[in-house]
Amino acid sequence: MGKEFKQLEFTDDFMFSKVMQRPEICKSVLELILGIPIRKIIYNETQRSFHGAYDTHGIRLDVYVEDDNNTVFDVEMQSYDDDLPRRSRFYGGMIDRKLLTPGADYSEMKDCYIVFLSTKQMVENGNRCIYTFENRCTEDKEVVLNDGVKKVFVTSAGDDSELSVEMQEFLAYLRNPRKAEKRSSLIRLIEESVLANRMSAEMEEEYMYLEDYGLQQKKIGKKEGVLEGKRDIVKTMFTSGMSPEEIAKCTKIEISEVNKMLQNK
């Protein structure tokens, strides 16, 4: 069982995604981290699911938004140890699959920022608070690939002495939300949102449901998760116009199983 709802902070995944639903907060956090102006935030789905091939991993994003310049932002609160470099690679690939519609030209792909926030150091032997990665030429570091993707790791566990006062306060808030000073308008706004969310009975009910659902999924195990992924893919392919026979051939699932999945709508 995870934290009690009333103990959730901005650094907890559920609370983070809820607070970042407020456009003024999401916009300000992104502008602070990335150092770029964002005129308007556009929400498609605050948490967006991406599924790959029927037998592969899917992902559920914490915050997935776009701006009015057609740039995509995926913002994740990294609350557990993981192989972050490869995880960010996987996230980028899954997002790209959705950004490029069938028949579209590669030039139509939107620019994308993948941002991870954490209270732990995310780069081995690193001591920075902000790391921005983009593809560059090994032989000539001045040559940038310009593939439209940047990955940004933000950690409160590094040396923030050369960062702006506002960024230092934001990082201090990530380290310890209850003890950090709340002088900047952004931190005050985040804290107000956290406190308001803790008072929401509807939000608490949603959190409890998700916690219970997560425990049930662990009990069900990986096999059922893969089966559910297959069902989603089969239904999507059928909706796009493919026949059950074509789906069976493409996915290598028996036609009888395909028909069962389609009947169980």
140 confidence band (pLDDT: 50, 70, 90): very high
Q: Residue 166, CB half-sphere, CA atoms under 13 Å: how many?
A: 12
Confidence bin at 46 (pLDDT 50/70/90): very low
Task: Return the pLDDT at 43.
Answer: 86
Helices assigned H by DSSP within the chain? 13-19, 23-34, 84-99, 165-175, 185-198, 201-220, 222-239, 244-251, 255-263
Please say whether the beta carbons of 97 and 50 come within 8 A.
yes
pLDDT score of 64 more than 90: no
Cβ count near 124 (within 10 Å): 7
Buried b (16+ CB within 10 A) or exposed e, 192-226: ebbeebeeeeebbeebeeebeeeeeeeeeeeeeee
Contact 18, 207 (CB under 8 A): no
What mean pLDDT do residues 231-260 have?
79
Banded pLDDT at 2 (limits 50, 70, 90): confident
CB-CB neighbours of 53 under 10 Å:
13
**DSSP letter assigned to residue 152:** E
| Of 74, 58, 54, nearest in space to 66 by CA | 74
Condensed to tens digits (0 to 9), the pLDDT of residues 51-60 reads: 554 444 556 6
Tell me the domain boundaries of the chain: 5-220, 221-265
Kindly tell me if the per-residue pLDDT of 62 is higher than 70. yes
Residue count of the chain: 265
Residue 214 CA from chain centroid, whole number: 18
pLDDT at 51 (0 to 100): 54
At 116 the pLDDT is: 95
Query: How far, in whole angstroms, is CA 17 from its chain's centroid?
Result: 9
Note the pLDDT of residue 222: 47
Is the pTM of the predicted complex or chain greater than 0.85?
no
Lowest mean pLDDT among 76-80, 160-164, 214-218: 214-218
Please tell me which residue, 264 or 15, carries the higher pLDDT value: 15
Count CB neighbours of 250 within 10 A.
15
CA distances from residue 90 to 46, 59, 183, 208, 262 in whole angstroms, order as listed = 19, 9, 37, 29, 29
Going by pLDDT thresholds of 50, 70 and 90, the confidence category of residue 195 is very high
Rounded Cα gap, residues 243 and 252, in angstroms:
14
pLDDT at 194: 96
Q: Is 70 exceeded by the pLDDT of residue 34?
A: yes
Residues 181-194, mean pLDDT to the nearest whole number: 93
